Each structure stands twice: as structure tokens, then as C-alpha cells.
Structure 1
Amino acid sequence: MKLVIIGGGSSYTPEIIEGVIDRHHEFPVQEIVLVDIETGKEKLNIIGALAQRMIEKSGVPIELSWTLNRPKALMNADFVTTQIRVGGLAARAKDERIPLSHGLIGQETNGAGGILKAFRTIPVLMEICNDISKICPNAWLINFTNPAGIVTEALLKCSPHKKVIGVCNIPFNMKHSVAEIMGCRPSEVEIEFVGVNHFVFGSKVWIKGMDETDKVLNKLSNHDLNYSPANIVSLGWSKEFIESIKLLPNPYHQYYFQTEEVLRKDVKAFHENGTRAEIVQQVEKELFQKYQDSTLQVKPKELEKRGGAYYSHAACSLMSSIYNNKGDVQTVNIQNQGAITDLPFDSVIEVNAIITKDGPKPITIGKLPKQVKAMIQQMKGFEELVVEAAITGDYNVAYASMLMNPLVRNESKAKVVLDELLETHREYLPQFY
């Protein structure tokens, strides 16, 4: 069995290597190939050497190599993971800084910045899918490149390769957070998820098989709880908010329901410490210095400072379940197929699914909760516009997607911010030029 990791020079790669090693007894990967591009060559060499040390220390029989030749790497692949960032952290910093300079939230996967990240990313992943469809058409593509839901929708609707599944660490993070506030193990927590990526809610929470939704929501209304991953500072939720929506929010919901508070906090941080991207650049610098230590043979603890910790755990669990036809339940980004009756059949949703050798089978939800139905439908409509603009390069559709994003929704600012972002990212947006 062969696994290809595209974006192999990412700081997250040691986590996916660890995940494969830990599961080797049930997911016997024989070959791993790390792939990157020329500008990522130095980081790829560093990650490759660390991954080799990790494999040697574990004693598992995995052959590792790394290359800049993607077509060659894809030969005979069974699984392909994608963790790319077109333009790197420098592009992310612009996605954050430019909206903030116009009084809008600047965030890498939400709002105006998330739209431009999708515009840069979707064409590149379309090329990767074209390669997969020709070179290894039976391979499963596990995408955790953000914005994961929008990217997965673009690939499933527009690329020739249909064995595509999107994963995100937020549902995993929510399970861990619930376990922490309820004093139990994450394995004892089950959540029914409904919505789309980064706008997903927990509609039911079971602990040890018992419905404890009300208890969890009651505890969540306590402002002292920190219910967020490393990249989002929690503002807490009011008792009125939790009692009204009767749903478990995810950490990204604060951008939509606490917009002014988040914007004030982000503008303050922007002036004092820089954006999240600039903080991450320092974290990355420290990580890669540590990665170069020839005595390091394990994933360092410092990696958890990155906001995407546990992405790789989700990806490895998913691949193992497909390989073993486990029939277990995991939360993934896949086509709706009628699971949520209030959304289009072919739209990508984030939902619990039964994982089989033939891929995920979404578990039926039915209608959206009426408290959030309109907002989820608006988010899906906005995502559809983003996909169309990214594929066609149509400026008017791009403007419409910016205007329909709940974090922009201002016709003059939408144009100014769109024009500035399109120009600053010009080299990565050939479809618009």
C-alpha cells in the first residue's frame, strides 16, 4: 500500500507520519512519498529527514522518499493527502491584513481572506485531481487543505476524480472540548454534526451512549470555559445564545455571531503583535529549527501550537477505516446525497458518515434546525459562488461571492477589498488575468 503526501514539506507532516506509524498494525502502509514544489524544497528535505528518523525509531517497515516530481510520486498510489498553502504564509498574512485594514475580519478560511485562499487553491487542486485521475484513478484523495468544504465541493463537482473526501480538525476538536468540560474521555463522546465546514453545529451530544446535550449546553454557557483550538481565542457564549439556538456551536461561529467583538480583538492584535499568520510564521520558524535536530525522532509537542493540530489524526483514522471497511462513524466533508433535505443533493456538507471500503455513506439528518436554517443555506449559496468564480475567473461572480459572505456584506467594501486582494495575489490567480 502506497501513501502520497502532497505538501510534504508542511510542518504538519510529522503528525501524519506519527499517525501512520501508530496505526501500522491495522493500516500497513509500505511506501510513503512526500511531494512538494521547488520553493518548498528546503523544508521538504528537513521534513523528509525527520520522518525517516521517526520511521527508523518505530521499527515499522515503511519505505520513505521525497521528491518534487508529482506525476512520478503518484504512480500506483492507494491514498493521496493534500495539505498545501498556495503562496505560503506570506499570502495568508495578506488575506488577514487587507480585510482588517478596511474594517473587516481578516481570517485565512473565513470572510474575504478565505475567499481568496479558495481562489488560489482550487485551480491547483484541480490540476492535482487531473493527475490522479490519469495516473492512479483508484486512489482516495483525502483533502485537508483549507477552506476544506469549499475545496472539496469544487473537486467533486468539477474535477474528473470523484474519490475525494474532505477532513477538518474542528469536529475532532469539539469532541475533545466536550470531553474536557464533561470530565470524560473523547472516545466516550459522540456528536451529531449538521452544517457545512467551519459553520457546523452539534445537534446532539451523547456521552457513554446517553443523551447529555442539555448538560453540555448548560456548561458551555459558562464564560470561564476555553472552547477553542490554538488559532482561535475563545470569547465564550452567553446563556441566552446557547439557550436560544439549542445547538453546540463550533469555535468559528464567533466570527459570525460575535463579529464586532472579534473584529475589535483582531484589530488590536493586528496593531500590537501582527496577524495570526505572522505569529504562525514565528511558530513555524521555531518548529523547523527543532525539526533539524538530528537527535529528534518524534513529533515535537510544540506542533500543537499550530491551529490545525489533529488534522492528521482525522485523516489517518479515515484512511484506516476505508482500508479495513470498518463501518465506523466519522465526521467528513462529502456530497449531501439527501442527508440534509434543505440543501442541494450535490452540495458538500460536513456530517457524520459510515466509513466503508467504498467511501463514506452520509447519515441522514433530515431538515436543518430552524434556528440556523437560513444562515446555513446562505453559507452554502455563498460557497457555490466561490467555486464558480475560482473555476471560471469571472469577476462579477467573484464580487457576488464577496458580497454574499456574511463577514463582508457591504457593496462598497466588497469591491475595494476584492480588487486589492486580486491584485496582491495576482501571480497565483491566472484565471482572473
Structure 2
Amino acid sequence: MKLTFIGAGGVRTPLVIQSILNFQDRLPLDTVCMMDIDPERLELIKLACKPRLAKGAKFNIEWTTDARKAIRGADFIVTTFREGSLESRVIDEQVPLKYGVLGQETTGPGGFAMALRTVPVILHYVELIKELAPDAWLLNFTNPAGILTETITRVAGFEHAVGICDNPSAMMRAAAAYVHTDPDKLFPEYYGLNHLGWMRSIYLDGKDLIPDILQKMQTSGETIEHLPFDVNEIAALGTIPNEYVYFYYYPRKSVENLLKSGQSRAMQILPFNQELYAGLRRIRDEEDTPDKIEAIYLKYLDQRQSTYMTLETGHDAENAAVEEKPLEKQDAKKAMDESAEGYSAVALNVIEGLLEKPKLMILNVPNRGAISGMAENDVIETTCLVGNGVVRPFAMGSIPDADLGLMKSVKAYEKLTIQAAVEDSYELALEALTLHPLVPGYDIARNILDDYLAQHGDYFPKLLNER
């Protein structure tokens, strides 16, 4: 079996390698191919992965900048690239803040800009897959995951594809820890879109645990880990929202917190990424450096994780800062394992489910009637059965009107954004951004779009048609 990752020069690739090592005895892996268009970053990340691979990889690993070579003959392909790199994300997030609108990677104008840059690229890769590996499964991790998965399945018509996000699986692990059980024993009823979803029920031995969880939250005053909502608000909802719903429930507060901090998340983590690559450059010609490599990467990982959503929610990142001291070996392995479980292990669980062992997973897939009120080919994020070479959503039926209304509004924006990218249309792009629930009207949408066109340069479509 050949497994390919497109975008392997990214900072999370060492976590991917850790996940593959954890799964290698459970999957019939022969070859793992790591591909990226940036040769220097690919070489540096290869160095960052060296200590992990030295500990007993049972598969052949290839590193390449040739997309055709990476895709040819692959059985599974994971897309995890960022068009324009992190520098483009800074523009995505900072431009809206100038107009008092949320600047965030996937939600609102930030996700819109990233989608316009990335839709043409993902369509190019799908055409290569159709030519060179037509029977492969495509697992899309690239953000905005829901929009790109819909581009793959509806626009390109490639059915062997799912969208993956590690956030719902993290919710399940946190909920399982809250009730002191194994997440594999739970059956979740989750519905929504990517980064806009709700956990309606969590079953254990036929009993829905949500009422008890909500009662426990109100009694203790403590929510499930990483849930940035008031306990009484969650109790009133009767569901557990994905943490990204915070941006829809508290848009003004989110913007105020970001403006107060003076930076967006992209600006916050850009120095971490730059420090990681710079550290790897300094030692790439040295010998016997596994401990140094490990220390550089673990420092990066701790910096990133300890500051997650601190800006948007107004939490004090300084109190969560990482002490700059080397971790013990057992702590280092634990940190890598836990981080890998929350990222690429989701993709490997999908692969294991398709090949060997059926699984329940929360994925981005075409609706197929699962959520009443959404179109058949709308890509949604919901509980799915993965097994026997297929992925199918469970029927959620009717959902609360407020949730459905928000989903339909965001879905209309998503579809227009895809159409604008495909048709290279300024008018459609402007209409899409105007429709987004977090954008307060046409004039601000136009200002944001024009600023993107001016600042992104060649990384942004020209949007000439109908202008």
C-alpha cells in the first residue's frame, strides 16, 4: 500500500510520521511518500522527522517535489498544504480586522480568501489523481476543509474523498475524559459543517450522556476541556457546540479580543514557525543531532499548543507560556503521541476503517439525506460509518431551526465562494462574502475583497470575469 501526503513541508509532518509509526503494525504499508513544492522546507522537515524514523520504520519512505511521482500508484492521498504559506494567512486574517470583522483562518473572510486561493489548486491535484491513481482515496485536511471537500466531490465529481478535521475527534476525547470512559465506547450524534457543528447526543451502552454532562457542568461550573462557552449557555442550548462556534456566538467579542491583542493567530504563530525552520537550518550539517532536533521541534509544538485560541477568547497566553527547558525523554514521547493522536491519526483511522476495521468517525461528506433541510450533495460534517471501502453518514434527521438556519446561510456562502473561484468572478466573490453571517454588509465585503486583491498578488485569483 502506498500512502502519499501532499504538503509535507509543513510543520506538522513530524506528527504525521509519529502517527504512521503508531499505526504501521495495523496497516499494510509498503511506501510512504512525502511531497511538497518547496524543496528547502521539505528537506528541513525531513531532518525534523529523522529521530522518529530512526526508531523502527517498517516502510519505505520517499521525499519528493514531484507531484506526479507522489500521486502515481498511490492507494491513499492526504492533502495538507497551505497555498501561499503562513504569510498569506497573515493577510487573510489581518485585512478583515481593519474593518472590524473577524480575522480567522477558516471562519469568515479568512476562510473565504484561503478558499479562493486553494480551490484551483485542489482541482489540479484531483485531475492528477484521476489520471495517475483513479482508484485512490483522497483524504482532505487542507483548510477550509468543508469548502474544499465540496469542491472535490461536487465540482470535480471525485467520490472517493472525505474531508478530515481533528477538532470533532478532540471533542470526543475531551467528553470521554469528562465522564471517565474510553472514547471508542461512545456513539456521538454530531451534525453541522466544518468548524460549525454541535454534539447532540453521546451514547454509552444505549444511554445518552449529554443531559448528565450538562447537569455536571452547571453543578461544578466547569466545562469540557477547551470549550470556550459559559456553562449556562451550553445548558440552555441542550447541545455541546464545537469550539469554533464561539466565533458565531461571540463575533463582536472575538474581534475586540483580537484587536486588543494587536495580532491574529497567524501573526502569533508565524515567529514559532520561523524559529523552527531557522533552528533546523542551523543544525542540518551537524552529525549526531537527534536530541537537538527533538528539542527544537518540541519547543515549537509547546509554543503552538499553549497559545491555541488565547487571542480570540481573550485568555492570557503568557500564563500558558512554555518553560524553555528540555523535556525528559518519556515526556517528549508522550507530547508527540498526544499531538499525533489529535491530527494525522484521524486520517489513519479512516484508512484502517476502509481497509480492516469498521469505525465510527466524524467526517466531512456529502449529506445524502442525513440532515433534513440540507441538499443531497451539500458537504456536511457528521457522524459516519467507515467500513467495507465506503464512508456513509448516519441519519441525523431534523435539527434545531437555529442551527439549520445558520448552516444554510454558511452553506450558501460556501457554494458561491466555490463558484467564484471556478469562474474567476469578482461579482460572485463579492456576493459570497456579502452573504457570510459574520460580514456586516456589501460595502465592507467589497473593501475586504479589494484589499485581498491588492495585498495577495499572484497568490490570489485575478477575479476578472464580470467585473
TM (norm. structure 2) is: 0.85
Kindly report which structure 2 residues correspond to 1:344-359, keeping only aligned pairs within 5 A, or say none: 344-359=375-390
Indicate how the Cα distance of structure 1 residues 219 and 382 shifts in structure 2: closer, same or farther if over 3 A, else same.
farther
Kindly report which structure 2 residues correspond to 1:141-290, keeping only aligned pairs within 5 A, or say none: 141-207=138-204, 210-220=207-217, 224-225=222-223, 227-228=225-226, 235-239=228-232, 241-270=233-262, 274-288=263-277
Cα deviation, residue 245, structure 1: 2.2
Matched position secondary structure for 1:203:
strand
Spell out, residue by residue over 1:262-305, the C-alpha distance to the aligned partner (whole angstroms, 9 max, x if none): 111111112xxx22112211222344456566314877475363
Indicate how the Cα distance of structure 1 residues 345 and 386 shifts in structure 2: closer, same or farther if over 3 A, else same.
same
Aligned position for 1:91 = 88
Contact 2:168 2:362 in 1 (8 A): yes
Q: Give the counterpart of 1:362 among 359, 373, 393.
A: 393
Kindly report which structure 2 residues correspond to 1:26-425, keeping only aligned pairs within 5 A, or say none: 26-37=26-37, 40-57=38-55, 59-207=56-204, 210-220=207-217, 224-225=222-223, 227-228=225-226, 235-239=228-232, 241-270=233-262, 274-288=263-277, 294-296=289-291, 300=298, 302-303=300-301, 305-306=304-305, 310-324=342-356, 326-425=357-456
Spell out, residue by residue over 1:215-237, the C-alpha distance to the aligned partner (whole angstroms, 9 max, x if none): 22234456654743xxxxx6432
Q: Output the CA distance in 2 between the equivalents of 1:122 and 1:311.
A: 22
Cα deviation, residue 391, structure 1: 1.1
Indicate how the Cα distance of structure 1 residues 261 and 401 shifts in structure 2: closer, same or farther if over 3 A, else same.
same
Contact 2:15 2:344 in 1 (8 A): yes
Indicate how the Cα distance of structure 1 residues 23 and 291 shifts in structure 2: closer, same or farther if over 3 A, else same.
farther
Indicate how the Cα distance of structure 1 residues 181 and 50 shifts in structure 2: closer, same or farther if over 3 A, else same.
same
Q: Which amino acid aligns with 2:381?
A: E
Q: Output the CA distance in 2 between the equivalents of 1:290 and 1:207.
A: 46
Query: What's the RMSD between the two structures over aligned residues?
Result: 2.2
Spell out, residue by residue over 1:32-52, the C-alpha distance to the aligned partner (whole angstroms, 9 max, x if none): 111111xx2211002223334
Contact 1:195 1:350 in 2 (8 A): yes
Cα deviation, residue 21, structure 1: 1.1
Spell out, residue by residue over 1:341-399, the C-alpha distance to the aligned partner (whole angstroms, 9 max, x if none): 21000110101111124221111111222342211111211211111111111111111
Q: Which amino acid aligns with 2:237?
A: I
Q: Output the CA distance in 2 between the equivalents of 1:200 and 1:80.
A: 26
Q: Which amino acid aligns with 2:165?
A: C
Q: Output the CA distance in 2 between the equivalents of 1:301 and 1:211.
A: 40
Q: Output the CA distance in 2 between the equivalents of 1:175 and 1:409.
A: 34
Aligned position for 2:330 = none
Cα deviation, residue 425, structure 1: 1.8
Q: Output the CA distance in 2 between the equivalents of 1:122 and 1:374.
A: 25
Contact 1:130 1:160 in 2 (8 A): no
Spell out, residue by residue over 1:178-211, the C-alpha distance to the aligned partner (whole angstroms, 9 max, x if none): 2343344433444211111111110102346531
Specify every segment of 5 or more residues in structure 2 that has no aligned partner in the other structure, as ranges. Answer: 284-288, 309-338
Q: Output the CA distance in 2 between the equivalents of 1:373 and 1:246.
A: 15
Cα deviation, residue 160, structure 1: 4.8
Cα deviation, residue 431, structure 1: 5.2
TM (norm. structure 1) is: 0.91
Kindly report which structure 2 residues correspond to 1:12-31, keeping only aligned pairs within 5 A, or say none: 12-31=12-31
Q: Which amino acid aligns with 2:210?
A: T
Alignment length, in residue pairs? Answer: 420
Contact 1:224 1:236 in 2 (8 A): no
Specify every segment of 5 or more residues in structure 1 that has no aligned partner in the other structure, as ranges. Answer: 229-233
Identical aligned residues as a percent: 29
Q: Which amino acid aligns with 1:283?
A: F
Q: Output the CA distance in 2 between the equivalents of 1:365 and 1:93.
A: 37
Indicate how the Cα distance of structure 1 residues 125 and 55 shifts in structure 2: closer, same or farther if over 3 A, else same.
same
Matched position secondary structure for 1:202:
strand
